[in-house]
């Protein structure tokens, strides 16, 4: 993991995994859901399409919290289970 990512998320509980995916013919194949607490801006993986690149990559799992999309922060308060 890069020093930048370690510095930014190193204090979070759980494992932080950097996943870089390219959109394929079937998209990324990720279904997302927001946090139950609407005051928190975060997204969780709630489904993976077996034909999508996220499933084929194998690092994302249902229940994982997405901390960043591209270069944009999703949440600074959560972790991956």
Quote the CA–CA distance of 54 and 20 in Å, as a whole number.
9
What token pair was written down for 39? 């005051």
- What's residue 77's pLDDT? 40
Secondary structure, 3-state, 45-67: EEEECCCCHHHHHCCCCCCCEEC
Q: Give the tens place of pLDDT for each residue, 2-61.
A: 788 888 888 888 888 888 888 888 789 999 998 777 677 788 999 999 999 999 999 999
How sure is the predictor about 1, in pLDDT bands with cuts at 50, 70 and 90? low
Q: Where are the domains of the chain?
A: 3-73
Quote the CA–CA distance of 63 and 80 in Å, as a whole number.
8
Contact 76, 11 (CB under 8 A): no
User: Which CATH fold would you assign to the domain 3-73?
Assistant: Pdz3 Domain (2.30.42)
Q: Give the tens place of pLDDT for each residue, 68-81.
A: 877 544 443 444 44
Contact 78, 12 (CB under 8 A): yes
């Amino acid at each position: 993991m890069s020093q930048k990512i370690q510095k930014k998320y190193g204090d979070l509980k759980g494992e932080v995994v950097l996943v870089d995916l390219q959109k394929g013919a079937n998209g990324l194949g990720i279904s997302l859901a927001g946090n139950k607490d609407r005051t928190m801006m975060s997204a969780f993986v709630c489904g993976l399409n077996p034909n999508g690149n996220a499933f084929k990559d194998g690092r994302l799992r249902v229940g994982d919290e997405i901390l960043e999309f591209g270069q944009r922060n999703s949440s600074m308060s959560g972790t991956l289970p």
